C-alpha cells in the first residue's frame, strides 16, 4: 500500500519508531541524533523523541551524543522465532551438507521482495559483507531468491517484477525484466538456480527450493562458493547433487512434522520468516 494511502488504523509514529530501530546495523552500530534523523527522513525533534523513548524503554543506550541498540531489542523477535520450526528442522541437514561439500550453506525465506537468512552453517568468509541470521538481499539477484520467486504463480511473478527495481550490483547482474522472467521460468523447469557473480564479484551460488507437505515452496537452501575455485559446471556436477539430496531430506522431515511455522510478514504468498534483527537498507 502506498505511503499516501495508508489504512485508517495505520499508526505513523509506530512506523517511525521501527524505522529508527532498523537504521542501526553492522555498518552503523552507533549514530548521532542528526544521523538517525537523516537516515529515517525525520526532523531532529521527532528523531529525538523516538530515540529517548527507546532509551526509556531499554531498547537503546546513549552517551549523550551517540545512540546504540541494547540486547533487549532481541525480545522483539524472540516470540516469533521460538515457534518457528523450519530452521531447527533444516540445521542438521545443513551441517551434513557442509561436511560433505566443505562450503558454506544457508536456509533463506522470502520476505516481500527480499530474501532473509534464517539459518546458516559457514565454513569461511567469502563475501565482503558478513552474512548472519537476519541478513537480507534483494530476491531477484540471489539463487535462493530465484528459486522461491520461480515457485510463485505466474500472476504473482508478474506483479513482483512490475514493482522490482533491477539494480546492477555487478556487471553480470540481470538488469532487464524480460531476461529475469526468462531466467525464472528456466529455474522453475530445472528445479534449481545458479547465480554467477551477480550479487558480488567472485561469488557463485546454487540453490534449491524447500517444499512443505502440500508442495508449496516455503524456503530455499544454497551453497555459496568462490568463483575462482568453482566453475558453473563444477557446481552443477559436484555440488548440486549433494544440495538436492539435502533439500529432499528437509522436505521429508517437513512432511512428517507438518507445515513449518513460517508465515511471512511481507509476502502474502510464501509462508516464510524474517529475523528479529533485519537491517534496513540505507537510502
What tens digit of pLDDT does each residue of 161-200 get? 888 888 888 888 888 899 999 999 999 999 999 999 989 8
Class of domain 9-69: mainly alpha
Alpha carbon distance 247, 191 (integer Å):
11
Question: 129: which residues sit within 8 A by CB, 6+ positions away?
Answer: 135, 200
Alpha carbon distance 169, 179 (integer Å):
16
Domain 78-257 has CATH 3.30.450.40: yes
Backbone angles phi, psi at 158, to 5 degrees: -60, -40
User: Cell numbers of 140, please?
Assistant: 531477484
Whether the pTM exceeds 0.95: the reply is no
Report the largest interatomic distance among the alpha carbons of the chain, rounded to a whole angstrom: 58
Based on its alpha-carbon atoms, the radius of gyration of the chain, rounded to whole angstroms, reads 20
pLDDT score at 73? 87
Give the three-class secondary structure for 159. helix
Alpha carbon distance 88, 209 (integer Å):
17
Residue with cell 529525538: 48
Q: What is the mean pLDDT of each run of 10 residues along the chain (283 residues)?
A: 71 93 91 96 96 95 94 76 75 94 92 89 67 87 95 91 86 89 94 92 93 90 90 93 95 73 39 35 36
pLDDT score at 80? 59
Alpha carbon distance 44, 2 (integer Å):
25
pLDDT score at 245? 95
User: Cell numbers of 249, please?
Assistant: 531430506
Pinpoint the residues of the chain covered by CATH 3.30.450.40.
78-257
Pinpoint the residues of the chain covered by CATH 1.10.10.10.
9-69
pLDDT score at 253? 86
Task: For residue 105, give the DSSP letter.
Answer: E
Alpha helices in the chain (DSSP H): 12-22, 33-40, 44-57, 75-82, 86-101, 143-150, 154-163, 177-190, 232-234, 240-257
**Which H or E element spans position 116?**
strand 114-121
Q: How far is CA 25 from CA 19, 43, 58, 123, 199, in A?
A: 12, 21, 18, 23, 20
Alpha carbon distance 152, 141 (integer Å):
16
Amino acid at each position: 500500500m502506498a505511503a499516501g494511502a495508508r489504512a485508517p488504523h495505520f499508526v505513523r509514529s509506530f512506523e517511525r519508531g521501527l524505522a529508527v530501530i532498523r537504521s542501526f546495523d553492522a555498518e552503523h552500530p552507533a549514530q548521532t541524533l542528526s544521523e538517525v534523523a537523516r537516515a529515517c527522513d525525520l526532523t531532529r525533534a521527532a528523531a529525538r523523541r523516538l530515540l529517548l523513548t527507546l532509551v526509556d524503554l531499554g531498547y537503546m543506550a546513549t552517551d549523550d551524543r551517540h545512540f546504540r541498540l541494547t540486547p533487549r531489542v532481541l525480545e522483539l523477535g524472540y516470540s516469533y522465532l521460538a515457534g518457528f520450526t523450519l530452521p531447527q528442522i533444516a540445521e542438521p541437514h545443513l551441517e551434513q551438507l557442509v561436511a560433505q561439500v566443505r562450503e558454506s550453506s544457508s536456509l533463506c525465506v522470502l520476505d516481500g521482495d527480499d530474501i532473509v537468512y534464517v539459518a546458516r552453517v559457514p565454513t569461511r568468509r567469502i563475501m565482503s559483507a558478513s552474512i548472519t541470521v537476519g541478513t537480507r538481499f534483494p530476491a531477484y539477484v540471489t539463487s535462493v531468491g530465484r528459486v522461491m520467486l520461480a515457485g510463485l504463480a505466474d500472476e504473482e511473478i508478474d506483479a513482483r517484477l512490475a514493482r522490482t527495481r533491477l539494480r546492477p550490483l555487478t556487471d553480470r547482474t540481470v538488469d532487464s525484466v524480460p531476461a529475469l522472467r526468462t531466467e525464472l521460468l528456466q529455474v522453475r523447469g530445472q528445479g534449481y538456480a545458479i547465480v554467477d557473480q551477480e550479487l558480488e564479484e567472485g561469488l557463485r551460488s546454487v540453490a534449491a527450493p524447500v517444499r512443505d507437505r502440500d508442495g508449496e515452496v516455503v524456503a530455499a537452501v544454497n551453497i555459496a562458493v568462490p568463483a575462482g575455485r568453482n566453475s558453473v559446471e563444477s557446481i552443477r556436477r559436484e555440488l548440486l547433487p549433494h544440495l538436492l539430496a539435502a533439500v529432499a531430506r528437509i522436505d521429508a522431515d517437513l512432511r512428517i512434522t507438518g507445515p513449518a511455522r513460517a508465515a511471512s510478514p511481507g509476502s502474502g504468498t510464501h509462508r516464510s520468516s524474517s529475523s528479529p534483527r533485519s537491517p534496513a537498507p540505507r537510502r
